Structure 1
Amino acid sequence: MKVPREDLLHVSLPDAENLLHLVHRKYFQHVYSMPKDGSPAEVLTKQVKRLARICNMDLIGVTSSRPFDEDIQRVDEIIEDLTKMGRDNEARRLGFRKRALVPTSIWDEAKSIIVAAQPYAPPVKCSFDKKEYGRMAAVYVRDYYALIDSKIDMLGRFIETMGYRVLRGYARDGEGFSELTPMDHRRGCLMVRPVARRAGLGVIGKNTMLITKPYGSWVVLSFLMTDAPLIPDEPLKGWDPCRECDVCLKACPGNALFEGRKLIYEDCLNVTPSVEDHERLAKVGPYLWGCDVCQEVCPANRRTEHDSRESAPQAEEFLIPLRPLMEMGIMNPKVAVVLGNTENEEFVEPLTRLGLKHENPTVRRYARWALGRIRGRAGK
């Protein structure tokens, strides 16, 4: 018996917690009673995957805790590229993050990593008044992260009932990283896309996103580490949806993507550009949260299995009315940039009132840029 997919895909966080307890009561016993054929590692791996299927976890994989050497090499290449560009501070920060590709440096007793992918609805194409609305990336329209986290947590609870320990990861990665649970956050973080790649969920595309066969890159990821010995899955072999395609590299508004499936994260428009970089600030356009450009242009994302259902997000859910933000007194660098890109003179007053008088000097600088853009003299 499965929980209806529609219920799983669109539940809120409290509902997801209720679902967790429901599954715990009704289905753990079913998994416990599975045939115990094979080694302890084989049996536990089958039990975990069976429990995942019960809860409609379409994409789940297991990998070991050994270092991600292929990805470490790619990070080293990006560090070298940044150094050649004279961006030493960014190179140094990225160097610190290499630890996130060595799981045992985070938890030295980790033996296995379980990673799962949750599909989410792609953006709906729509026309809208760019003088009145901002936009958000599709991943932020619904709290898909709460759902995938509740599912991965449920697997963790099951593993704990078998006498093993678990270290859970948050799915909210922001830049391809997943933080550990609050009590363990000081230990570091783990790059989750390489984990998913090695666990066989998909491949890393030229846009550096994980591309899966059924859903393209329209997925969110979550993981857990455990000291339980599990049977690792094999990476996908012989499948590369990117091949000679480089459309995402050309389309990236921040010019953040490079050959070799490399991303300079600070150049991605998911990060607010420097206030001195007027050209890139203009390219942010209406995006208040995130950027979907490299995914929207990806041919692999046009052949996915996402179906249309009444409960899928509607076009207006991807839009953010800007006037209510001003009425609520909300102002930060990204809001200021989007207001400037509307070139709507009606936002001069709130930018002056909320932006130029903001206690944070960084916000004031972005507000000055936005006012200059509206008045046709950006940055002055």
Structure 2
Amino acid sequence: MNSDATRALALELGFSAARICRADEAWQAGDRLAEFVADGHHGSMGWMAETLARRQHPTAMWPDAKSAVVVGLNYGPEQDPLPLLERRSEGVVSVYAQNADYHDLLKKRLKHLARAFAEKTGKQVRVFVDTAPLMEKPLAEKAGLGWQGKHTNLVSKAYGSWLFLGVMLTEAELEPDQPEPDHCGSCTACLDICPTKAFPTPYRLDARRCISYLTIEHKGVIPAEFRAPMGNRIYGCDDCLAVCPWNKFAQTSAETAFHPRPELKGPLLAELASLDDAGFRQVFTASPVKRIGRDRFVRNVMIAIGNSGDPDLVPTAEAALDDDAAPVRAMAVWALAQLAPERATAVAADRMANEADLDVLAEWRALNPRR
């Protein structure tokens, strides 16, 4: 099974794009990753440091790997997601998480590809979809699916910034494709739009400032400087992806599994704030959102409520002051202070007297530093 047949089979299985590169050649991606970790830009994602040695090169994880078949699956949205940010009483879930978990769909198809390839060639294969210490984006660039833009995500001439990636490593030596050169030019749209200025320089991300990291990976209270810039983003952030000029060539995904479920396309903040654990699991069944858990999610919703400017949400914020989860209570304090500062000040003394969590107490004290 040669390179042409492998690419053709991948497309038959429903992938939008498939390209091939050597997996055993030297590359600079590993050095860039080491700098990223050394600078602390990975934040609390300790697993990146723990798996750094294996993550720096494909052969560090599997010494027999010779070739990488890199596949892409288009998840382009039907409409630009940026206007949703103006609907402040609604929550914005990142495009990729508005329906089914892409890991499941990509891995199922990759396994079909790997099984057929192994049967035809007799060569060993392994498949990866964003859950193992493998750098898919540098491999995708090397294989020619696109290039890593200044926002560090892959950009494709055909699909813009909307490609899910998967990789099949194999010990077979396949004819590689040519890498895709960088076409960003002088454009800085993705850097300029970032609400939290998470890019210290082009092509470098400080995850600690990224709203996707803050809403998904970060545990506990969201640092004060990032709350207002978060707006109504309650899971992830699409700004740097959505603004990319190459999206003008993108197409709406043909995968119905990626089309937004009605309840996740502009869900009302008041309804989301009322979710208990069982309700959260029901709403986000088979969704990537489910992985962060109810407490972290409602914490994000509280920040969105604080940014809503909607006085009708004051009772929702005040009700969350009694939530069992301390991060939710802490962000509810902040939300109430944004929407109804006089009310927040009026209840502060009684609330502080009955609060044991230090983070929550710190939020109350921020309303009246003398206490």
Place the TM-score, normalised by the shorter chain, in its bin: 0.7 to 0.9
Kindly provide the amino acid, as one letter, of the partner of residue 242 in structure 2: E
1: distance between equivalents of 2:332 and 2:165? 35
**Partner of residue 211 from structure 2, selected from 255, 259, 269:** 269
Report if the CA contact (8 A) 2:231-2:307 is conserved.
yes
- Residues 277 and 305 (structure 1), Cα distance of their counterparts in 2 relative to 1, 3 Å cut: closer
User: Judging changes above 3 Å, is the alpha-carbon distance between structure 1 residues 221 and 88 closer, same or farther for their aligned structure 2 residues?
Assistant: closer
1:98 aligns with 2:52: yes
Q: CA deviation at 1:336?
A: 2.0
Partner of 1:206: 150
Q: Hey, what's the Cα distance between the residues in 2 that align with 1:128 and 1:210?
A: 23
Checking the alignment, whether the CA contact within 8 Å between 1:144 and 1:220 is kept in structure 2 is no
> How far does residue 291 in structure 1 lie from its aligned partner after superposition?
0.8
Contact 2:23–2:66 (8 Å) recurs in 1: yes
Q: Is the 8 A contact 2:68 2:167 kept in 1?
A: yes
How far has the Cα of 1:307 moved from its partner? 5.4
The separation in 1 between residues aligned to 2:327 and 2:260, in whole angstroms, is 35
Task: Specify whether residues 70 and 88 from structure 1 end up closer, same or farther in structure 2 by C-alpha distance, changes over 3 A only.
Answer: closer
Conserved 8 A contact 1:138-1:318: no
Q: Does 1:197 align with 2:141?
A: yes
Counterpart-to-counterpart distance in 2, 1:367 and 1:224: 45
Q: Does 1:278 align with 2:224?
A: yes
2:17 is matched with 59
**Could you tell me which residue of structure 1 aligns to residue 199 of structure 2?**
257
Q: Go from structure 1 to structure 2 and tell me whether the alpha carbon gap of 1:309 and 1:193 turns closer, same or farther (over 3 Å shift).
A: closer
Deviations 1:48-70 (A, max 9, x none): 22212323433111222226632
Matches of 1:208 and 1:364, distance apart in 2:
34
Q: After TM superposition, where is structure 1 displaced by more than 6 Å over at least 4 residues in a row?
A: 87-93, 308-312
Using the TM superposition, give the Cα deviation of residue 133 of structure 1 relative to its aligned residue in structure 2, in angstroms: 1.0
Aligned residue in 1 for 2:350: none
Q: TM-score, normalised by structure 1?
A: 0.72
Superposed displacement of residue 103, structure 1: 1.4
- AA aligned to 1:292 is D
Which residue is 1:344 aligned to?
Answer: 310
Change (3 A) 1:373 1:135: same
Mark the runs of 5 or more structure 2 residues left unpaired by the alignment. 281-294, 345-362
C-alpha distance in 1 between matches for 2:123 and 2:253: 40
Give, in whole Å, the separation in 2 of the partners of 1:216 and 1:48.
24
For residues 128 and 245 of structure 1, do their structure 2 counterparts lie closer, same or farther at Cα, with a shift above 3 Å needed?
A: closer
Question: Which ranges of structure 1 fall in alignment gaps of 5 or more residues?
Answer: 1-42, 171-177, 181-188
Q: Which residue of 1 aligns with 2:123?
A: 164
Tell me, yes or no, if the aligned pair for 2:230 and 2:304 is still in contact at 8 Å: yes
Q: Whole-Å Cα distance in 2 between the matches of residues 310 and 114 of structure 1?
A: 21
Deviation (angstroms), 1:193: 0.7
Change (3 A) 1:289 1:123: farther
Q: 1:149 — aligned with what?
A: 107
**2-structure distance, mates of 1:322, 1:88:** 30
Q: 1:220 corresponds to which residue?
A: 164
Q: Distance in 2 between matches of 1:88 and 1:300?
A: 27
* Pairwise CA RMSD: 3.3
The within-5 A match list for 1:1-380 is: 43-66=1-24, 69-79=27-37, 82=39, 95-99=49-53, 100-122=55-77, 124-125=79-80, 126=83, 130-143=87-100, 145=102, 146-162=104-120, 163-170=122-129, 178-180=130-132, 189-237=133-181, 240-272=182-214, 275=221, 277-302=223-248, 304-306=249-251, 313=259, 318-329=265-276, 331-332=295-296, 333-353=299-319, 355-376=320-341, 380=367
- Judging changes above 3 Å, is the alpha-carbon distance between structure 1 residues 328 and 94 closer, same or farther for their aligned structure 2 residues? closer
What are the superposed Cα offsets for residues 154-175 of structure 1, whole Å, 9 maximum, x if unpaired? 11121232333332212xxxxx
> Percent identity at matched positions?
26
Q: Would the aligned equivalents of 2:42 and 2:206 in 1 still touch at CA under 8 Å? A: no
- TM-score relative to the length of structure 2: 0.73
Specify whether residues 213 and 289 from structure 1 end up closer, same or farther in structure 2 by C-alpha distance, changes over 3 A only.
same
Kept in 2: contact 1:340–1:374 (CA 8 A): yes
* Structure 1 residue 219: Cα displacement: 1.1
